[in-house]
């Protein structure tokens, strides 16, 4: 991949990730839904319970409400032509469900589509 081409794709991925971050911060799933592919999946443990499906995520975000102090860090972006992996570390989670000062590690896989990069899966680990 040529350098300029890489930067274009990188910027597209970061733009998609920003929708996820904005939705998380404001507690509004409607802001992050466009970042997700219609067939996206979602996996991870919320306490002892295995949470599966993007609907679980969207409901959680809406019920959790605003989390104004989250500190998201994009730790890595790995692009392989039409697919990509993003590792996001989010410190300072708060809200109705998150409690306070919670840290989350996320692995997003993305697919490049005609309407931009879309999250096809989010896997998370909630650091207790």
Q: For residue 18, give every residue at least 6 positions away whose Cβ sits within 8 Å of its Cβ, in sequence order, or none.
A: none
Q: Which is nearer to other proteins, 28 or 87 (CB)?
A: 87
Which is nearest to 102 in space by CA: 50, 64, 49, 74?
A: 64
127 binds other proteins (CB under 8 A): yes
Residues 36, 116, 40: CA angle, nearest 5 degrees = 20
Q: Which is nearer to other proteins, 26 or 91 (CB)?
A: 91
Q: How far is the CB of 126 from other proteins (least distance, A)?
A: 9
Q: How many CB atoms within 10 Å of residue 88?
A: 21
Residues 88, 38, 57: CA angle, nearest 5 degrees = 50
12 binds other proteins (CB under 8 A): no
Q: Which is nearer to other proteins, 36 or 58 (CB)?
A: 36
94 binds other proteins (CB under 8 A): no
Note whether 122 and 40 are within 8 A (CB): yes
Q: Considering only residues 22-61, where is the footprint of other proteins by CB under 8 A?
A: 37, 39, 41, 43-45, 50, 52
Chain residues binding other proteins by CB under 8 A are: 37, 39, 41, 43-45, 50, 52, 78, 80-83, 85, 87, 105, 107, 109, 111, 113, 120-121, 123-125, 127
């Amino acid at each position: 991949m040529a350098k300029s081409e890489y930067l274009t794709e990188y910027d597209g991925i970061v733009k998609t990730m920003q929708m996820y971050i904005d939705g998380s911060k404001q507690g509004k799933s409607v802001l992050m839904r466009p970042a997700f592919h219609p067939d996206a999946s979602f996996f991870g443990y919320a306490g002892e319970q295995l949470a599966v499906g993007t609907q679980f995520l969207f409901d959680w975000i809406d019920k959790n409400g605003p989390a104004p102090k989250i500190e998201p860090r994009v730790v890595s972006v790995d692009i392989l032509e039409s697919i990509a992996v993003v590792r996001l570390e989010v410190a300072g989670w708060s809200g109705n469900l998150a409690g306070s000062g919670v840290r989350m590690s996320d692995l997003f896989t993305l697919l490049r589509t005609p309407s931009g990069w879309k999250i096809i899966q989010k896997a998370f680990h909630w650091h207790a």
